[in-house]
Amino acid sequence: MTLTAEKPQYEIARESANRIRFARAELKRDIKTGVVTLPEVLLADIPDWLVGMKVEKLVLAVPRVGPRVASRWLARVPTHPHSHIGYLTMRQRLLLAEISSGKEV
């Protein structure tokens, strides 16, 4: 019988959290530089690492959108800025995508 040195649970959790953080940071960078748009992100299938991200953080990654514009957009959806992306309804995601693309409803 061979004993394998498995990683402690806290190291596995830390690595998972780092992967999620890096993926979210990369997505925000891509939105800020225009590689991907907010509507593309909202209307696609939401990956597991994006489900728990707050909507406000994603909206603030859009170029020329600050806290005031972000709160105005989220008030029109309507959703709380601290709600998670994965828990938005399809209607809320569509409305936020339309607002962010300039096609006001």
Q: For the chain, what are the domain ranges?
A: 9-100
Distance CA 97, CA 105 (A): 10
Instruction: Please give the pLDDT value at position 79.
Output: 87
Q: pLDDT per residue over 29-45, tens digit each?
A: 999 999 999 999 999 99
Give dist(CA 67, CA 46) in Å, integer: 24
What would the CATH number be for the domain defined by 9-100?
1.10.8.50
Closest by CA position to 100, among listed 76, 66, 73: 73
pTM: 0.83
Residues of the chain under the 70 pLDDT cut: 1-4, 103-105
- How far is the first Cα of the chain from the last one, in angstroms, to the nearest whole number? 66
